[in-house]
């Protein structure tokens, strides 16, 4: 059976002799309305293959499997196997891969389950200690993700939706906004989880079908340039890039000017379009 209330989750953990592991970010969802909100944002249908990271006790996995074509879930904690086998027993369209998602190639994990014409969606109630690395793994994978629906810490959501110019605008903002239209769907209080985290959370949608019409000529260069630009926040763009990319300052300045940008500007003022132009110059 699936467990979505605090009482049901406690009972499921007790029955399987499992204790939530803080070190793995195990805060299980116990609010059916939040779970429904995530499922609705995924918009699962008969064409949808969902990649889920961290199925935990399987509540979201099972709700998604009821409407999607397939769910492929990656769970690091192998001791949850008996719980997931129990909860997901009625779902023939779910495959759980027990691995650290940061140590696998997502394309390889998905390959057996992804067919031409499928609509791929990434969905996760993310473990907060590795939110950013997991998001970047998906963003940089090149997988044809049509949308991503993720539960993150509220401060991470602030950074994901931040416009240029503010203190929250950084590598994460540029990375996600390069991939699609980013929207905070709703905030989630600690009481929606068991055990309760010490922070507020939010569910964020990245709609990659509404991405800005910008493509970097070389995406690896784009992400390298963005990371270097924000590497040292107080430096000018010119100094940050020279330090981060180990390039002579003059060469960096020429590239920045060729991209039509002021070398004295700071990374937090640059739009996504300017980062793309800069990366394209750097890739030449």
- Among 36, 45, 85, 100, the residue binding ligand SAM under the rule CB under 6 A is 100
Structure tokens at 206: 């990245």
Nearest distance, CB of residue 38 and ligand SAM, angstroms: 8
208 near 198, Cβ under 8 Å?
A: no
3-state DSSP percent of the chain in helix, strand and coil, to 5: 50, 20, 35
Stretch that binds ligand SAM, among 26-34, 83-91, 218-226, 243-251 (CB under 6 A): 26-34
Q: How far is CA 102 from CA 46, 66, 131, 174, in A?
A: 28, 27, 11, 21
212 forms beta bridges with none
Interface residue with ligand SAM, options 65, 72, 74, 152 (CB under 6 A): 74
Minimal CA–CA distance to 110: which of 145, 72, 146?
A: 72
Residues 38 to 67: which contact ligand SAM by CB under 6 A?
53-57, 59-60
Interface with ligand SAM (CB under 6 A), residue from 1, 19, 89, 102: 102
Q: Which CB atom, from 2 or from 177, has the smaller least distance to ligand SAM?
A: 2
**Nearest CA among 270, 120, 123, 278 for reference residue 209:** 120
Please give the structure tokens belonging to residue 120. Answer: 């791929």
- Site for ligand SAM contains 227 (CB under 6 A): no
- To the question of whether residue 125 is assigned a binding role by annotation, the answer is yes
| 29 labeled binding residue | yes
Q: Is 185 annotated as a binding residue?
A: no
Give the Cα separation of 47 and 119 in Å (integer). 6
Nearest to ligand SAM of 104, 214 (CB atom): 104
Q: Closer CB to ligand SAM, residue 59 or residue 245? A: 59
Please give the C-alpha separations between residue 217 and each of 206, 221, 228, in angstroms, as whole numbers: 22, 8, 18
Residue ranges in 118-147 that form contacts with ligand SAM under rule CB under 6 A = 125, 127, 130
Q: Which of 39, 44, 77, 222 binds ligand SAM (CB under 6 A)?
A: 77
- What does residue 137 show for φ and ψ, rounded to 5 degrees? -60, -40
User: Is residue 148 close enough to count as binding ligand SAM by CB under 6 A?
Assistant: no
Residue 208 CB neighbour total at 10 angstroms: 19
166 is in an annotated binding site: no
Q: Is 187 annotated as a binding residue?
A: no
Size of the site for ligand SAM (CB under 6 A): 23
Stretch that binds ligand SAM, among 95-103, 113-121, 206-214, 251-259 (CB under 6 A): 95-103
β-pairing verdict for 70-75 and 119-125: unpaired
Binding site for ligand SAM (CB under 6 A): 24-29, 53-57, 59-60, 74-77, 100-102, 125, 127, 130
């Amino acid at each position: 059976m699936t467990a979505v209330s605090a009482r049901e989750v406690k009972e499921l953990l007790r029955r399987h002799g499992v204790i939530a592991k803080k070190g793995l970010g195990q805060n299980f969802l116990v609010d059916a309305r939040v779970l429904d909100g995530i499922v609705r944002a995924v918009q699962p249908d008969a064409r949808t293959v969902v990649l889920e990271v961290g199925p935990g006790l399987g509540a979201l996995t099972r709700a998604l499997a009821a409407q999607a074509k397939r769910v492929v879930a990656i769970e690091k904690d192998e001791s949850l196997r008996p719980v997931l086998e129990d909860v997901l027993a009625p779902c023939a369209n779910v495959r759980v891969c027990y691995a650290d998602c940061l140590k696998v190639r997502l394309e390889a994990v998905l390959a057996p389950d992804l067919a031409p014409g499928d609509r791929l969606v990434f969905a996760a109630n993310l473990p907060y200690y590795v939110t950013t690395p997991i998001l970047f793994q998906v963003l940089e994978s090149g997988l044809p993700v049509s949308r991503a629906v993720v539960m993150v810490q509220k401060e991470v959501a602030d950074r994901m939706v931040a416009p240029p110019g503010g203190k929250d605008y950084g590598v994460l903002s540029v990375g996600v906004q390069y991939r699609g239209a980013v929207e905070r769907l709703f905030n989630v209080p600690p009481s929606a989880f068991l055990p309760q985290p010490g922070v507020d959370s939010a569910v964020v949608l990245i709609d990659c079908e509404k991405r800005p019409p910008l493509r970097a000529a070389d995406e690896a260069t784009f992400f390298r340039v963005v990371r270097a630009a924000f590497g040292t926040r107080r430096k000018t763009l010119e100094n940050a890039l020279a330090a981060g990319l180990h390039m002579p300052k003059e060469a960096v300045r020429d590239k920045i000017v060729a991209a039509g940008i002021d070398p004295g500007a700071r990374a937090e003022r640059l739009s996504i379009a300017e980062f793309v132009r800069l990366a394209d110059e750097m890739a030449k």
